[in-house]
């Protein structure tokens, strides 16, 4: 299949590109390289450098590549920044996505696979692990903007027959995650530990998250090419792991011995969340293959090599 991966120079998108190439597809990347890197894109993959807000650029790209499928990963994805710049998050994540949908409709794209967020869509969970029909109460503009697009996906299918699959990711980690961002605790801690610096835990370290290895998330995208039409799926392990535990496991994996620094908590983040991915198991045939210990080891090795 001919597949356009938006955000394909970023952390998750570039891992998806690799999985799609290994599955034998023709792949191109659309990315403005705002957080993504050209070096993440395989040499045999065409990179269209453009902003998804730029309709003229999208016209040319869609006329040229005519994607049969879009894997839509491009987004502004920093919860704390979104609280400072809510309009920017709406412009990129909502209007940018709407631009893609319009061009998809114009050139006859069959399906869009969308990177949703399980961590920022549901709000503070009413029960755990969270299922897809849990009430949606995003606590920040990032989560609200990401969820908003799910409504457009539904109505573009309803009105124009454009198929979609929403994959609501948990906390994704693994090779190519940016260790200098605000998010991505595993990449940040690993990088610091490998450089002999003591990481800082915001709050008491008892917040729980659902950590999923990026290769497993990429595989969910590959499975969605031919399955899960017009459905929403949680992707995750169903298990919460607290930040102190991540710290200890990374100490063992890196050989770093010093205890963590602790700083005041940051506002706007849920206390505990982990996702029930039973539906993805049943309908996509997806489950997490890489356990936390193995995934952390792979992450440490890849950052060490860098």
Ligand X SMILES: NC(=O)c1ccc[n+]([C@@H]2O[C@H](COP(=O)([O-])OP(=O)(O)OC[C@H]3O[C@@H](n4cnc5c(N)ncnc54)[C@H](O)[C@@H]3O)[C@@H](O)[C@H]2O)c1
List, by residue number, the catalytic residues. Answer: 142
CB 271 within 8 A of CB 124: yes
Work out how close the CB of 12 gets to ligand X at its nearest, in angstroms, rounded to a whole number: 3
| Stretch 48-67: interaction string toward ligand X, x if CB under 6 A | ---xxx--------------
Q: What residues contact 149, with CB distance under 8 A and at least 6 apart?
A: 93, 94, 97, 98, 114, 116
State yes or no: residue 34 binds ligand X (CB under 6 A). Answer: yes
Distance of CA 145 to the CA centre of its chain: 14
Q: What residues contact 43, with CB distance under 8 A and at least 6 apart?
A: none
CA nearest to 180, candidates 294, 37, 7: 37
State yes or no: residue 12 binds ligand X (CB under 6 A). Answer: yes
Task: Specify the DSSP element, H or E, that contains 281.
Answer: helix 278-283
Work out how close the CB of 71 gets to ligand X at its nearest, in angstroms, rounded to a whole number: 10
State yes or no: residue 303 binds ligand X (CB under 6 A). Answer: no
Query: Which residue lies nearer to ligand X by CB, 181 or 205?
Result: 181
Cα separation, 183 vs 186, whole angstroms: 9
State yes or no: residue 145 binds ligand X (CB under 6 A). Answer: no
CA nearest to 118, candidates 222, 228, 240, 226: 240
Query: Which residue lies nearer to ligand X by CB, 193 or 220?
Result: 220
Cα separation, 9 vs 18, whole angstroms: 11
120: three-class secondary structure by DSSP: helix
| Stretch 67-106: interaction string toward ligand X, x if CB under 6 A | ------xxxxx--------------x---x----------
Query: Which residue lies nearer to ligand X by CB, 171 or 254?
Result: 171
State yes or no: residue 27 binds ligand X (CB under 6 A). Answer: no
Q: What residues contact 132, with CB distance under 8 A and at least 6 apart?
A: 168, 232, 233, 234, 276, 279
Query: Which residue lies nearer to ligand X by CB, 146 or 163?
Result: 146
Choose the binding region for ligand X from 47-55, 59-67, 201-209, 274-282 (rule: CB under 6 A).
47-55
| Stretch 204-243: interaction string toward ligand X, x if CB under 6 A | ----------------------------------------
Q: Which residues bind ligand X (CB under 6 A)?
A: 7, 9-13, 31-36, 51-53, 73-77, 92, 96, 115, 117, 119, 146, 169, 171-172
């Amino acid at each position: 299949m001919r597949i356009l991966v938006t955000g394909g120079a970023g952390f998750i998108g570039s891992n998806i590109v690799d999985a799609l190439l290994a599955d034998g597809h023709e792949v191109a990347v659309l990315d403005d390289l705002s957080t993504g890197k050209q070096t993440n894109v395989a040499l045999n993959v065409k990179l269209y450098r453009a902003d998804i807000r730029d309709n003229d650029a999208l016209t040319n790209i869609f006329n040229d590549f005519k994607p049969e499928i879009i894997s839509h990963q491009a987004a502004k994805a920093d919860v704390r920044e979104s609280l400072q710049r809510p309009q920017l998050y709406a412009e990129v994540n909502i209007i940018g996505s709407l631009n893609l949908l319009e061009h998809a409709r114009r050139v006859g794209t069959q399906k869009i696979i969308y990177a949703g967020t399980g961590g920022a869509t549901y709000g503070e969970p009413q029960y755990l692990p969270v299922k897809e029909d849990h009430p949606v109460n995003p606590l920040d503009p990032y989560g609200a903007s990401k969820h908003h697009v799910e409504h457009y996906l539904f109505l573009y299918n309803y009105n124009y027959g454009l198929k979609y699959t929403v994959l609501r990711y948990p906390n994704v980690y693994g090779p190519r995650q940016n260790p200098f961002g605000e998010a991505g605790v595993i990449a940040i801690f690993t990088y610091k530990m490998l450089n002999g610096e003591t990481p800082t835990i915001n709050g008491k370290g008892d917040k729980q998250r659902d950590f999923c290895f990026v290769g497993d998330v990429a595989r969910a995208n590959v499975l969605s090419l031919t399955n899960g039409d017009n459905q929403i799926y949680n992707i995750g392990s169903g298990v919460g792991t607290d930040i102190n535990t991540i710290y200890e496991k990374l100490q063992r994996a890196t050989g770093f011995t010093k205890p963590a620094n602790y700083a005041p908590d940051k506002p706007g983040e849920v206390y505990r969340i982990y996702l029930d991915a039973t539906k993805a198991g049943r309908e996509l045939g997806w489950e997490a293959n890489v356990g936390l210990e193995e995934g952390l080891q792979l992450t440490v090795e890849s950052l060490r090599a860098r």
